[in-house]
Structure 1
Amino acid sequence: MHSLTKITLLILLLSSTLLTQGCASSEGAQNNSSAAIMNNLVIAEPLPITFKSELAIARLSEVINRAKLSDEKRAQLFYDRGVLYDSVGLRSLARFDFSHALQLKPDFVDAYNFLGIHYTQLQEFSQAYEKFDSALDLSPEHEYAFLNRGIALYYGSRPELASIDFQTFHQKQQDDPYRLLWLYLTEYEIDPVAAKKSLKERAALVDDRTWAKQVIYLYLGEISQGQFIKNLAQNVQSNKALTERLCEAYFYLGKYNQALGYHGSAANFFKLALSTNVYEFVEHRYAKLELDLMRTKKTPDNHL
């Protein structure tokens, strides 16, 4: 059996927050329902930094510092070490290495893409757009530059432009539920009714056996939050797989509650996504940004 545990002190704290969220009867009902859901959550151990990652960083550092290399090869090493730093949550060190790689190789497409991601997380949207534009100028078919620029535009409050990038990204693989979900989140900002209709139509191309199809069912109202959470551990064979699934699930639960106006519940789910330490996942990257943005907005039930 997987190494699953019920949330203990964390759940008590989160439930306490949920129970203090509102005064109206409708809010009270939501709080009680949310508290019941939170008390039934399961979590896995946060992903640790692996020995292999630490060793790889040490070896790359030694080569960078000692070996005589061309600028192009040195740029590649800085980029590779930056990716490793990023994968273990050392964002500032990663950003330094990506910038250094670009100094040595100004046409390094993937370095532009990664820097754009980091500037998005820092809410420095103008610089993020600039980096993604540079990546796409150099490589017009770079799929993930479209995804990442779309995300930057989404968080930069430009949903119409974001939807264009997400549509391009979605068209390249229409059976990918994650591409569909980001397109839906953006279209929801423009027209919620039309967005849900489009989600239902596009979802037909997503294989029902794909786990993320459950997120789509949740957003379409075909399953409840309780059912969604109850099935989170199904067909998971390891703690790592469970942790990765929970990172995704809690982020999308956060967005779901946010859309309903339940900001306290949304914040709790974003915090749970962060607790997985799955630094490389898009959902982990932007759970922190979601919390940062929520702190800047004054909402009556926003206990962050």
Structure 2
Amino acid sequence: MSQRTYVNTRMEATSAARGRLRGAAPLSAIRYAAACAAFCISFMFALAVPSAAQTAGDLVREGFAAKERRQFPYAIQLFNEVLRRGELAPDQRGFLLYSRGVSYEALGLRDRALGDLDAAIALLPQFPNSYVYRALIWTDRREFDRARDDLMQALRLNPNSALIHNNLGSVYERKGELDLAIENYGTAIHLDPAYAEAFYNRAHAFIAKQDYQAAIADYDRAIALQKDFADAYSNRGGVYLMQGDTEKAIADFGKAIRLRESDPIFWANRANAYLAIGRYQEAIGDFDRAQKIDPGNAAVYLGRGRARMYSDAIFAAVEDLQTAVRLRPSNPNPAIWLHIARVHQGYADRQELEANTARVKRDQWPSAVLDLYLGNVDTVQVRQIAEEGNGPNAARRLCEADFYIGEFLAHNGKTPDGRQILQTVMAKCRPADVMFSAASAELSEMTPTK
């Protein structure tokens, strides 16, 4: 089970080229058959006689079967009836409340699920599964400390559970405590060496630590264990793309598509890989597929707009980029690229640019580039803003700043200066970055000066 993280609507130009890395898989649920083993038998026998209890037992068994078939509303209805009758010992009532809570959680009715799980824990404090499911709800609500505490209690009750260690790793990763996340994923793997999801999750934590070789090794293992692990192929492709190994990236994205062609992320990932190396028609084709599956995704329109612009389909590019602006008006990237497309089109867009800039959040990079276009800051100031702060995005920001500055100068009467900066982009930025291919495209359109 892998996290559903659709194409990143932040839409940083370089991250768009790297492929969408789905995050750590969400906390895993304990399968009902395992949870039921210790308690279902007591239900069946305790409710077998007298005749009234037999009727309740039939309801319980039918409810459990409905839950296994994922017929959760029907299961809840049956559990309600048994609980209404009140013919239960405290431990039986606790397990039935747990089962109904699990059913509510599966339907997304988390407030009701939480109430049932709280009651189940009160009645069955030594039953670890209730803590695990409650941790699912805390995680969904981003209450990570509560999720951690519940999983720690579950581990005290069941210390050799690979699933609980894997879930605890996911919580630590969401808290940003990557070393603890990796440690817990590793424990899960030690307890269950065939646990593909734990390898997948640990790979994602390694990416956050920029240990890409370790990430690839874990994705390799996850795929070896689970041949149809589409998200693992896609994420491994994203890492290959980060490292500049475009052919391997495209191959992995293609494998993910073949396994689950209805997933728009996979098509967008391969499209961004093609875009990064200037294979614009192939990029457009894959963006088309992603757009048909997920027609409201702003990043898809942004990517396809760039591909169309550099393949000389300028009017279609403008249309795509306008759509991206409408979908994400506060994000600076669509507004920037729409202006660049207008420049390529030879269209005076001052009024449009001002209107779009007014809606952009001013506290996020690269909004300063819009101020450059409007004449509010100069190129030196833009680069200074890009240099602010450190961290893993520092090099990316400088790469973007140099591209935008070079592109700006090249189209504003300073072609030699612009060309020189764009050549710097190609020398310093990674081939997998969108800015690298964009700089290449801009340079190819310039007439060399004599």
Deviation string, structure 1 residues 131-189 (Cα, Å, up to 9, x no partner): 11111112222222111111111111112111111111111121211121011111222
Structure 1's consecutive aligned runs of 4 or more residues displaced over 4 angstroms after TM superposition are 48-51, 274-280
For normalisation by structure 1, the TM-score amounts to 0.70
Structure 2 Cα separation of the partners of residues 180 and 81 of structure 1: 31
Please name the residue that 1:4 is paired with: none
1:150 aligns with 2:305: yes
Structure 1 Cα separation of the partners of residues 416 and 216 of structure 2: 38
Q: Against the structure 1 CA distance between its residues 105 and 267, is the aligned structure 2 distance closer, same or farther, given a 3 Å change threshold? A: same
| 1:293 shift after superposition | 5.3
- Alignment coverage as a number of residue pairs: 244
Structure 1 Cα separation of the partners of residues 261 and 365 of structure 2: 40
Please name the residue that 2:352 is paired with: 198
Map of 1:1-304 to 2, 5 A cutoff?
Answer: 52-64=211-223, 66-69=224-227, 71=228, 74-193=229-348, 195-233=349-387, 236-238=388-390, 240-274=392-426, 277=429, 284-291=433-440, 294-295=443-444, 297-300=446-449
Q: Against the structure 1 CA distance between its residues 75 and 258, is the aligned structure 2 distance closer, same or farther, given a 3 Å change threshold? A: same
Q: Where does the alignment leave 5 or more consecutive residues of structure 1 unmatched?
A: 1-47
Q: Against the structure 1 CA distance between its residues 252 and 127, is the aligned structure 2 distance closer, same or farther, given a 3 Å change threshold? A: same
Structure 1 Cα separation of the partners of residues 438 and 389 of structure 2: 30
Does the CA contact (< 8 Å) of 2:301 and 2:324 recur in 1?
yes
For normalisation by structure 2, the TM-score amounts to 0.49
Q: Against the structure 1 CA distance between its residues 101 and 191, is the aligned structure 2 distance closer, same or farther, given a 3 Å change threshold? A: same
Does the CA contact (< 8 Å) of 1:128 and 1:152 recur in 2?
yes
Q: Against the structure 1 CA distance between its residues 207 and 138, is the aligned structure 2 distance closer, same or farther, given a 3 Å change threshold? A: closer
Structure 1 Cα separation of the partners of residues 323 and 279 of structure 2: 24
- Equivalent pairs: percent with the same residue? 21
For the aligned residue pairs, the C-alpha RMSD in angstroms reads 2.7
Bigger radius of gyration: 2
Structure 1 Cα separation of the partners of residues 438 and 347 of structure 2: 22
Deviation string, structure 1 residues 113-138 (Cα, Å, up to 9, x no partner): 12222223343333222111111112
| 1:260 shift after superposition | 2.0
Amino acid at match of 2:403: F
Structure 2 Cα separation of the partners of residues 212 and 142 of structure 1: 20
| 1:91 shift after superposition | 1.5
Higher relative contact order (CA 8 A, sep 6+): 1
Structure 2 Cα separation of the partners of residues 140 and 211 of structure 1: 26
